[in-house]
Structure 1
């Protein structure tokens, strides 16, 4: 059996080839249980022989669904967000859906433009990591939405999924304390983000538990990039000097920038400065030394986000916040604190 010319085969062609009615073909293609196995097999054999491809758009319009889902993340170039996207893509494909991925580049206007494009594309719903901690405008886009990221807890009317930042920060601080680093310098992101507030809240509690004045902590700010992490670390080293024995960065890209800055300053990691990251991106395994990090479950965030969105699309209004546990990934960028090698070296240098 073959289809003549370049014309795409239709349901009518399949019905003729299989010797069944059009309604029987429709039932077979939709997976309906109301069809005999022999008839179903004849239809599927004809489909394969003729190279029939179902018109999913027409079917979706009849069903009120397009089978397309939107994902709006802040930075597709960041390996963490790429992992989130991969998890969402895998889950969407398993559900027979296609994923449209947009990067807002931390720009609220661009994010709004992407959401309008998704609505015009008639997507069934969207997963969004909002650029700002104010997502009041999402409702006007008329889409089922699931949030990911730090903004989510402020909006209990929407389902959300994310890593347990508080648990992850506490895990990192406890591990640093076990190595003698009770007062790490901090590389933090934008001051107007909830993630920073949550990070500092855990640090504050940790300080009180170890009889440390939180006001004495060394803190530098930057963006979540390698370049910004490097610049922030150089400022920190210039200002604090040998007091910087350990750095805890808010994400791995900043931590990798810190590693470059330490090297540029003529110091060693972890011998003179220990560095701890936060995210668990693959690049950390290939730095020298390898970056010890608190790993967020990036791919699982994408997978769980699709599950929650499917519930929202189906009209489930039982909104919930899912927090996934972080884990410690040990590599080579942390060392137990010993005598201040830099101070000793400076003293020795002064004697020569």
Structure 2
């Protein structure tokens, strides 16, 4: 009787094809050292020919490990978080693990549901960017975990990895000052987010160090999206002001939205409005003009988070906050006001 095409190949099929016992086939596939090279080769070729795949769940039940890790990020559509996920996936794959990625969409209820799903999936551990700064389910999570993002700073006893926001803001503000923009307007995230407070604090500290009163800075809040930046920029442009406008946006998506609002207002970047972003997402390179930004190390952050999670799983955590440095990417969205613009003389150049 022929075997059903819909039946999943088993270890017995592999053993029959290789001409060995079921236990020998299992030991060969598990990498056992007491199997000859010839036998191992025959078993591996047999497994490939019948389309056999090891049952990870069954292996995990025996070993206590599932070979799966979880990652909960706030917005998979944001290219920065996609980079984080890619870095985590690559590092997990190097160790033979798979990564389950969930997007909470900045929704605490969705985040809680994702954490339940990870427990039910019996993942070995999880990397979490808490949506709420008062995230209180950590003690009840029941699995090894590591935090990423700004909210992690509220949990001093928990291992975490994040970008060095203070260093990044310093880079941006130093560049603005060098180009004649000592007091930029700010487009920040929602007041409920710790990331907003950290960004604003770093800007204020820079201003105070240069004897600039932070109270003179115009500030608009919005969502960390293109539309959020677009709306915030519109509000900034509605304010009474004289001269060139400079904006430091808290992420690149907001900065790109701000550039759209500038065009819609009949103005030009950087002739009328200078804009600098934060994150270093690829789309900033293709904006017009190209977006000057402070790039956060997304892939490196994801990879380092997986390394730290393995430490948690193996019970060797250091319980510390790792800050990764950011870098400056200069493009064309900032006017250089430090260089006087030559005045045009009426009639000059005419024959």
Decide: shared fold, TM above 0.5. Answer: yes
Q: Is the 8 A contact 1:272 1:340 kept in 2?
A: no
Tell me what 1:176 maps to.
176
Kindly state the Cα deviation for residue 244 of structure 1 after the two structures are TM-superposed.
5.3
- The whole-number CA distance in structure 2 between the counterparts of 1:192 and 1:129 is 15
The alignment's C-alpha RMSD in Å is 2.1
Question: Is contact 1:79–1:282 with CA below 8 Å preserved after alignment?
Answer: yes
2:199 aligns with 199
Structure 2 unaligned spans of 5+: 344-351
- Residue 227 of structure 1 aligns with which residue? 227
Greater mean deviation of Cα atoms: 29-38 or 201-210: 29-38
Following TM superposition, by how much is the alpha carbon of 1:58 offset from its aligned partner in structure 2, in angstroms?
Answer: 1.0
Q: Which whole-Å CA distance do the structure 2 matches of 1:302 and 1:207 have between them?
A: 32
Distance 1:338 1:158 in 2: 45
Give the aligned partner of residue 320 of structure 1.
320
Offset, 1:5:
4.5
Q: For the residues of structure 2 that align with 1:68 and 1:206, how far apart are their CA atoms?
A: 43
- Normalised by the length of structure 2, the TM-score is 0.90
- TM-aligned CA deviation for residue 136 of structure 1: 2.1
| Residues 125, 313 of structure 1: 8 Å contact kept | yes
The CA deviation string for residues 253-304 of structure 1, in whole angstroms up to 9 with x for no partner, is 1111111122222221111211000011111111111111001111111111
The aligned counterpart of 1:107 is: 107
CA-CA distance at 1:171 after TM superposition = 0.5
Secondary structure of residue in 1 paired with 2:75: coil
| Equivalent position of 2:135 in the other structure | 135
Query: What are the within-5 Å matches in structure 2 for residues 147-296 of structure 1?
Result: 147-242=147-242, 245-296=245-296
Counterparts of 1:80-119 in structure 2, within 5 Å, are 80-119=80-119
SS of the equivalent of 1:54 reads coil
Per-residue displacement from partner, 1:129-163 (whole Å, max 9, x unpaired)? 11111222122121211111001122122221111
Tell me, yes or no, if the aligned pair for 1:88 and 1:306 is still in contact at 8 Å: yes
CA distance in 2, matches of 1:18, 1:58: 22
CA distance in 1, matches of 2:338, 2:12: 80
Aligned length: 340
1:91-129 C-alpha deviation (Å, 9 max, x unpaired)? 222222222221111111111111112111222211111
Residues 217 and 28 from structure 1, CA distance in 2 versus in 1: closer, same or farther, beyond 3 angstroms?
A: same
Shift in Å at residue 16 of structure 1?
4.1
Cα shift at 1:340: 10
**CA contact 1:10–1:52 (8 Å) conserved in 2:** yes
Q: Give distance in 2, aligned partners of 1:282 and 1:219.
A: 26
Separation (CA, whole Å) in 1 of partners of 2:182 and 2:278: 18
> Could you say if the C-alpha distance between residues 75 and 306 of structure 1 is closer, same or farther in structure 2, counting changes exceeding 3 Å?
same
Q: Distance in 1 between matches of 2:114 and 2:185?
A: 37
In the alignment, what sits opposite 2:349? Answer: none
Structure 1 unaligned segments of length 5 or more: list them: 345-352
- Separation of aligned partners in 2, 1:79 and 1:269: 23
Query: Is the 2:250–2:277 Cα contact (8 Å) retained in structure 1?
Result: yes
CA–CA distance in 1 between the matches of 2:150 and 2:331?
27
Question: TM-score by structure 1 length?
Answer: 0.90
Q: Is the 8 A contact 2:226 2:257 kept in 1?
A: yes
Which structure's residues are more often helix, by fraction? 1
State the alpha-carbon separation in 2 of the partners of residues 170 and 181 from structure 1: 14
2:39 maps to what in 1?
Answer: 39
Q: Is the 8 A contact 2:187 2:219 kept in 1?
A: yes
Name segments (4+ residues, structure 1) moved above 6 Å. none
Give the match for residue 120 of structure 1.
120
Determine the C-alpha separation between the residues in 2 that align with 1:244 and 1:54.
64
